[in-house]
Structure 1
Amino acid sequence: MSTEIAPHARPALPSELGPEPILAAIDVGTNSIHMVVVQIRPDLPAFDIVGTEKATVRLGDRDPATGELTEAAMERALQALQRCRAIAAARGATQIVAVATSAVREAPNGRQFLERVIHEVGLEVDLISGPEEARRIYLGVLSGMDFQQRHHAIIDIGGGSTELILGAGQEPLCLTSTKVGAVRLTQEFIHTDPISPSEYTVLQAYVRGMVERAVDEVKAALPPNTPLRLIGTSGTIQALAALHAHQSQGSLPTTFNGYSLALGDLQQLVQQLRRMPFAERQTLPELSERRAEIIVAGAIVLQETMQLLGCDRVTICERALREGLIVDWMLSHGLIEDKLRYQGSVRQRSVYNQARKFRVDVSHGEQVAQLALSLFDQLRGQLHQWGESERELLWAAAILHNCGHHIDHSSHHKHSYYLIRHGGLLGYNETEIELIANLARYHRKSLPKKKHENFRTLPTKEQRRLVEQLSAILRAAVALDRRQVGAIASLHCRYLAPQRQLLLQLHPARTSEDCALELWSFDYNRHALEAAFAINVAAELVPQPLSAV
């Protein structure tokens, strides 16, 4: 989801964005808020960075008793986001894509903070999961580095979490997110200045234990006897590279892209930094005050991960999550056709992966999806005005609507909501996953009601209307495949506007089939369509296809 600087009645189409649109991407992190403003070059396809902004707001400084974001931290973030929006507008950006990560994900009042951002800043910020954050970091790195079809691990050390990714320049082979970050570890483990030997030993052991599982996942996904290169992103790793460059070369490179830091040199830096009090670290020109405070914990994460991976050096990439947001936006707007084409189907692959994980009958899901999308397409422009993005949400819900059977048949629609909501779908933001889960939740039994928490807490009236209407379409499609044998091959809609009457002409897969159970099931469930669209609905079996009217 993106925020338009100059609001339109609907999101702009690629053809309406101009030949080289300007886009801003904002990462609301645990330690800092970062923004990049880019000019898109669709003919390459690529983008040029035309502006950046950073504010260290420390959203991760949460209330130790409740875990909530503090009022002071939220105020710092709101002011920073106001500045970002103003700078983006001044740079000519027409849209802003913004995401929030670890600190907001974990805070009990994280969603309330995002609502404040909407009301006080006029900016929509998507809350993304750890694996989704890792996927977009991977996209960002691919936009700035050529992997040459060799396997690379990527490590991104943030304030609240560390993402470890494996890929070879095509689709990612492993995406992990671990709750070890420079801010989190500093707050929880470092209480002496400089850090005492006992605290250092405990922190080192804790980090190793936490990242070991992610490292094992990367190793398991790596083909046997395959060399592994390590790429590092994030402010922590760039700060360590800057310290190394200044000490070894006496100056900083013009860019850190491609700069290499050996494990042995990193270990020397860690030993040096751990013995320096905070006041002394502050005097290092390569470290800001905020970075100096958390650099020891961040350096330990990099050191332990490199040792576990068996990598003797890390290569720096300056592109990461923010640039990944740009690439993801270009993919979703059809502006990348050749390079990274594989990522264009990440949503579909993720849905099918979830279907396999929860042992969904995919053939039934695809049949339901076919009927639901046919209804959606034929009613568009007559009974609804939803577009392609909403159509894709309906498709995902149709494929996954029965996944709750994986837990239990009883109330499986409610189980489907939970599994979709927490199953880690990739390529979708938090709001889209919530909508897919709600659509699946209402494919049977009760219609959407405000007393249902999952429906009541949808942030906008438009989203609740979407769930009411598209869940009714999905419910009808599920009813029309009642026996899950594909008895109804296709359907055509006849809508009589003056009478507000909808007639469904159902075409059986076999002419000898009376489809009595499907007709009964549809009649039993048609009230959902009638309520959602304020119409009267009927269905009839027509052996030979008729043209839609």
Structure 2
Amino acid sequence: MDLAASVDIGSHSFHLIVVQVENGTIRAIDKIRDPVSLAAGLDENRYLSKESISRAVNSLRKFGERIRSIPPHRVRAVGTNTLRMAKNREEFIKCAEEALGHQIDVISGHEEARLIYLGVAHSMEDDGQKRLVVDIGGGSTELILGEGFLPRRMESLYIGCVSLSKTFFSEGIIAASRLRDAEIMALQELEPIANLFKKQGWQRTIGSSGTILAIQDIVIAEGWSKSGISASSLKKLRKYLLSAGSIERLSLKGIDYDRKQVLPGGFAILSAIFESLSIENMEVSSGALREGVIYDLLGRLYQKDIREKTVRELMNRFQVDEAQAERVQAVALSFYEKVKKDWKIEGDFQRRILLWASLLHEIGLFVSYSQYHKHGQYLLNHLDMPGFSLRDQQCLSFLVRSHRRKFPLAELQLLRSEDRETMRKLGVLLRLAVLINRVRNDDETPQIDIKVSSNLIKLTFPPGWLKDHPLTEADLATEAQYLVNAGFFLQYS
């Protein structure tokens, strides 16, 4: 039985879904939700408290037990807004990965939006209409316009049910002034995008995830709606919240204790979205981020990796010389295959990140030739790159930064500690591949043997080749000096 799993380390709740994969379709066989409320543990200086880290690690240890028998390449765990914000993120991730037994990818707001849309799109029949998908999380809110399986516009706002409840309802009091202040804050976040969304238009409005599902359950259970969420049912819920006056006095059908604690903040955001975008009715989807992660993971497993498309689109957008990029890629991958065992850098991630860096190493030329490796680093750190985690982008941008001139040891230290040695070695392979292809001519690329042992690199060229190519020989002499500073010794003959 082919199983796959995804873990959503959300700002309010952690979710695990285990699915059975059969003929390209999935069937959920297990789901676990744990209301960890990670965002509540984030202090004013954006540090996660020890208590919140401990609570999260204990939850992930339980998740880890459930998915222990599933092969690692069929599991993906993602972290969202709270981990994007936390300054002690690396400390958390180190403990969390040990507890879960799997790597955790922190994803950008746009990538979170893309995956949410993918989860929603797969959970609903495609009728060809334009959709607005809304997802209110614990620390952020995503809005996506799309058609079919393709998101067309994605926005991630820095407001969530936990953060807004913490700001305006921390004492549990629900007063009209506080509720309106919370709505105004949400309206301010929505203001820059509202007209752009309305101008593009949509036919169906779809909500997903915990807050919206909970509000739908409430309005249906109370008899204020027959299905979905209407503007009129929200008005009735608002009236009820104000009449109750406090979170403790809420007595609503279809809502559990932990969701009740963040309901006022979640309601304020949804109310603001209805007001700002002039929404009258919202359908609710069972699909969400965790399902989107599953479908994205299956795409990677079955040769439909969105990251490949992203790289090719960036090459086209920034006018990368495709022929030169592929020359460099061919040499870099040839070197990789020859040294991967001796250097202990075997793995799908290592091979792919070198491949992508080879294809994108000249992306900075779009800005300027001068310091173009630094321009490339900046672009790859800040572009929205569908399919890539923040870690993926950091490693990719480092390799592009490191492919020429002085080896960037300071930037190397900014990577996760477990990535530094691998990226140092991959950076050397990319540098050598670029150097060999400086002439930008297929006929001038020789067959080169490469051998490594620890920090020693030996290149062997065809007899007489270096004598006939004095520029390359001079470049190798310069490169040998650069690599000494990176802790490598280059020999060539």
For Structure 1 versus Structure 2, the TM-score category normalised by the shorter chain is 0.7 to 0.9
Contact preservation (8 Å) 1:33, 1:57: yes
* 2:387 aligned to which of 409, 420, 427: 427
1:141 equivalent in structure 2: 120
Tell me, in whole angstroms, the C-alpha distance in 2 between the residues paired with 1:296 and 1:60.
16
Aligned to 2:287: 319
Structure 1 residue 413 corresponds to structure 2 residue 373: yes
CA deviation string 1:125-150 (max 9, x = no partner): 21111111111112211221122332
Tell me the distance in 2 between the aligned counterparts of 1:308 and 1:486: 56
TM superposition shift of 1:242: 0.5
Question: Considering only aligned residues, what root-mean-square deviation do their CA atoms show, in Å?
Answer: 3.4
Displacement of 1:356 in angstroms is 6.0
Letter in 2 for 1:245: I
Q: 2:412 aligns with which of 450, 454, 457?
A: 454
Q: 1:426 to 1:489 in 2, by over 3 A?
A: farther
Question: Does 1:176 find its partner at 2:155?
Answer: yes
Structure 2, unaligned stretches of length 5 or more? none
Does the 8 Å contact 1:366/1:399 carry over to 2?
A: yes
Unpaired segments ≥5 residues, structure 1:
1-19, 254-258, 338-343, 509-513, 539-549
The residue type paired with residue 124 of structure 1 is Q
Report the 3-state secondary structure (helix = DSSP H, G, I; strand = E; otherwise coil) of the residue aligned with 1:25: strand
Q: Per the alignment, in what secondary structure is the counterpart of residue 163 of structure 1?
A: strand
2:426 corresponding residue in structure 1: 470
Write the distance in 2 (CA, Å) between the matches of 1:475 and 1:488.
Answer: 20
Query: Given the alignment of the two structures, is residue 492 of structure 1 paired with residue 452 of structure 2, yes or no?
Result: no
Corresponding residue to 2:438 among 482, 486, 489: 482
User: Are residues 271 and 400 of structure 1, via their aligned partners in 2, closer, same or farther at CA, if it must alter by over 3 Å?
Assistant: farther
- 1:88 is aligned to 67
Contact 1:278 1:292 in 2 (8 A): no
User: What is the letter of the counterpart of residue 386 of structure 1?
Assistant: E
Contact 2:135 2:142 in 1 (8 A): yes
Per the alignment, residue 72 of structure 1 pairs with 51
Deviates more, 1:309-318 or 1:124-133: 309-318
| Cα distance in 1 between the residues matched to 2:301 and 2:488 | 30
Which amino acid in structure 1 is aligned with residue 492 of structure 2?
V
Q: 57, 60, 84: which one pairs with 2:39?
A: 60
Preserved contact between residue 480 and residue 488 of structure 1 (Cα < 8 Å): no
Matched, 1:232 2:207: yes
The structure 2 residue matched to 1:368, chosen from 328, 331, 337, is: 328
Say whether 1:442 aligns with 2:402: yes
Partner residue of 2:273 out of 282, 305, 316: 305
Aligned partner of residue 165 in structure 1, secondary structure: strand
Are 1:503 and 2:460 counterparts? yes
Q: Which residue in the other structure is 2:14 paired with? A: 33
Give 1:301 deviation, angstroms: 1.6
Deviation sequence 1:86-142 (CA, Å, 0-9, x none) = 2334xx534442111111110111221111123455442211111111111122112
Instruction: Quote the offset at 1:166 in angstroms.
Output: 1.7
Aligned to 1:57, the other structure's residue is in SS state coil
Q: Which residue of 1 aligns with 2:140?
A: 161
One-letter amino acid matched to 1:503: T
> Which one of 333, 349, 368 corresponds to residue 301 of structure 2?
333
Distance in 1 separating the partners of 2:241 and 2:322? 55
Query: Against the structure 1 CA distance between its residues 270 and 352, is the aligned structure 2 distance closer, same or farther, given a 3 Å change threshold?
Result: farther
Higher mean alpha-carbon deviation, 395-404 vs 466-475, is at: 395-404
The separation in 2 between residues aligned to 1:248 and 1:31, in whole angstroms, is 27
Offset of 1:471 from its aligned partner? 1.4
Over 3 Å counting, the alpha-carbon distance change for 1:396 and 1:265 in structure 2 is same
- CA shift digits 1:387-446 (9 cap, x unpaired): 443232112212332444566665543443343223332212232222212211210123
Alpha-carbon distance between aligned partners in 2 of 1:160 and 1:144, rounded to the nearest angstrom: 24
**Alignment match of 1:525 (pick from 479, 484, 490):** 479
Contact map agreement 2:241 2:250 (CA 8 A) in 1: no
| Deviations, residues 189-217 of structure 1 (Å, cap 9, x unaligned) | 33565433322222222211202334445
Contact 2:446 2:461 in 1 (8 A): yes
Matched, 1:111 2:69: no
**Alpha-carbon distance in structure 1 between the residues aligned to 2:224 and 2:193:** 34
**TM-score under structure 2 length normalisation:** 0.86
Name the SS for the 2:425 alignment partner.
Answer: helix
Tell me if 1:286 matches 2:244: no
Q: How many residues are paired up?
A: 486
- Name whichever of 409-418 and 490-499 sits farther off: 490-499
- Out of 125, 137, 151, the residue aligned to residue 130 of structure 2 is 151
* Corresponding residue of 2:191: 212
Q: Against the structure 1 CA distance between its residues 282 and 125, is the aligned structure 2 distance closer, same or farther, given a 3 Å change threshold? A: farther
Distance 1:264 1:428, change over 3 A: same
Which of 214, 228, 234 is the matching residue for 1:266?
A: 234
SS across alignment from 1:172: strand
Match of 1:546 in 2: none
Query: Could you report, residue by residue, the CA deviation over 1:144-171 in whole angstroms, capped at 9, with x for unpaired residues?
Result: 1122332111111001000111211133
Give the whole-Å Cα distance in 2 for the aligned partners of 1:318 and 1:299. 19
Give distance in 2, aligned partners of 1:135 and 1:529.
Answer: 40
CA separation of 1:427 and 1:488: change in aligned 2, threshold 3 A: farther
SS at match of 1:73: helix
Contact 1:282 1:289 in 2 (8 A): no
Judging changes above 3 Å, is the alpha-carbon distance between structure 1 residues 139 and 128 closer, same or farther for their aligned structure 2 residues? same
Provide closer, same or farther for how the CA distance between residues 236 and 431 of structure 1 changes in structure 2, counting only shifts above 3 A. Answer: same
Matches within 5 A, 1:17-28: 20-28=1-9
Counterpart of 1:195 (choices 174, 194, 197) is 174
Q: Distance in 2 between the 1:505 and 1:284 partners? A: 79
* Secondary structure of 1:23 counterpart: strand
* C-alpha distance in 2 between matches for 1:79 and 1:195: 32
Query: CA offset at residue 237 of structure 1?
Result: 0.5
Letter in 2 for 1:230: T
Match of 2:17, SS state, is strand
Cα deviations by residue, 1:300-321 (Å, 9 ceiling, x for unpaired): 2223223333432111111111
After superposition, the Cα gap between the structure-2 partners of 1:227 and 1:414, relative to the gap in structure 1 and judged at 3 Å, is closer
Equivalent in 223, 231, 245 of residue 220 of structure 2: 245
Q: Distance in 1 between matches of 2:27 and 2:63?
A: 18
Q: Residue 361 and residue 211 in structure 1: after superposition, are their counterparts in 2 closer, same or farther (change >3 A)?
A: farther
Change over 3 Å in CA distance of 1:517–1:80 after alignment to 2: same
